[in-house]
Chain A
Amino acid sequence: MISNLDYATLQHLWWIICSIVGALFLFLTFVQGGQTLLWQVAKTDLEKSLVVTSLGRKWKMPFTTLVLFGGALFAAFPKFYATSFGGAYWVWMLILFSFIIQAVSYEYRKKPNNLLGSTVYELFLFINGSIGVLLIGAAVGTFYTGSNFTLDLYNRVTWDYTLMGINLRGLEAAFSLFNLSLGIFLVFNARVLGALYLLNSIDLSSTPDLESRLRKSPWNNFLIALPFLLYVLVCILFMKGFSVDNAGVVSLVSSKYLSNLLAMPFLLIMLLAGIILVLYGVLSTSFKKSNKGIWFSGLGTIFVGLVVLILPAFNNTAFYPSKLDLQSSLTIFNASSSMFTLTTMTYVALGIPVVLVYVIYVWRLMDSKKLTVAEVVDEESY
Chain B
Amino acid sequence: MIDIDLSMVNWARAQFALTAMYHWIFVPLTLGLSFLCAFFESIYVRTGDKQWQSITKFWMTLFGINFAIGVATGIILEFEFGTNWSNYSWIVGDIFGAPLAIEGIFAFFLEATFFAVMFFGWNRVSKRFHLFSTWMVAIGSNLSAVWILVANGWMQNPVGMLFNPETARFEMNNFAEVVFNPVAVSKFVHTSSSGFLFASLFVLSISCWYLIKGRHLQMAKKSIIVASVFGLLSSSFVAFTGDESAYVVAQKQPMKLAAIEGLYKGQIKAPIVAAGILNPDKKPGDHQDPFLIKVEIPYLLSLLANRSLNSFVPGIDDLVYGNEEQKIESIASKIDKGKAAINDLTQFKQAKKENNSQKAEISLANFRKNQEYMGYGYLNKPEEAIPSVAIPYYAFHIMVALGTLFPVIFAAFLFYALKDSLTQKRWLLPVGLISGLLGLIAQQSGWVVAEVGRQPWAIYGLLPVKMATTNLTAANVQITFFMFLGLFTILLAAEITILLKQIAIGPDGGPLK
Contact = CB atoms under 8 A, between A and B. Distances in A.
B501 A74 contact: no
A159 B471 CA distance: 8
Nearest to B178: A344
Contact of A111 (B85, B106, B487, B498): B498
Classify chain B's interface size.
35 or more
A368 B171 CA distance: 47
A104 B75 contact: no
Contact of B108 (A64, A85, A106, A366): A64
Nearest to B64: A107
A257 to B, nearest CB: 27
Interface residues of A, number: 79
Given A82-B87, A341-B98, A108 B93 contact: no
Contacts of B470: 86-87, 89, 157
Interface in B24-80: 64-65, 67-69, 71-73, 75-76, 78-79
Given A85-B82, A112-B498, A380-B122, A338 B101 contact: no
B476 A338 contact: no
Contacts of A144: none
Contacts of A345: 98, 101
B105 A107 contact: no
Given A86-B471, A87-B86, A344-B175, A74 B476 contact: no
Interface string A67-92: 11011111110110111111101101
A100 B69 CA distance: 8
B90 interface: yes
Contacts of B474: none
A156 B108 contact: no
Given A63-B75, A71-B103, A341-B95, A83 B122 contact: no
Interface stretch (A113-121, A133-141, A174-182, A215-223): A113-121
B120 A57 contact: yes
B408 interface: no
A64 B72 contact: no
B97 A71 contact: yes
Task: Give the dominant DSSP class at B's interface.
Answer: helix
A366 B121 contact: yes
Given A115-B493, A340-B171, A341-B171, A100 B72 contact: yes
Contacts, number: 261
Interface in A55-71: 57-58, 60-61, 63-64, 66-68, 70-71
A338 B171 contact: yes
A90 to B, nearest CB: 8
B108 A68 contact: yes
B94 A341 contact: yes
A248 to B, nearest CB: 13
A184 B87 CA distance: 32
Contact of A82 (B72, B86, B505): B86
B113 A344 contact: no
Interface string B392-417: 00000000000000000000000000
A247 interface: no
A169 B476 contact: yes
Contact of A60 (B97, B112, B476): B112
A375 B102 CA distance: 36
B154 interface: no
Interface in B455-503: 470-473, 476, 480, 483, 487, 490-491, 493-495, 497-498, 500-502
B116 A103 contact: no
A379 B117 CA distance: 13
A114 B494 contact: yes
Contacts of B472: 86, 89, 169
Interface string B5-16: 000000000000
A154 interface: yes
Interface stretch (A204-212, A295-303, A357-365): A357-365
Interface of B: 2, 64-65, 67-69, 71-73, 75-76, 78-79, 81-87, 89-90, 92-98, 100-106, 108-117, 119-125, 129, 133, 164, 167-169, 171-173, 175, 346, 349-350, 353, 470-473, 476, 480, 483, 487, 490-491, 493-495, 497-498, 500-502, 505
Given A113-B498, A113-B501, A159-B471, 6 more contacts: A57-B116, A71-B100, A82-B87, A86-B83, A152-B2, A338-B94
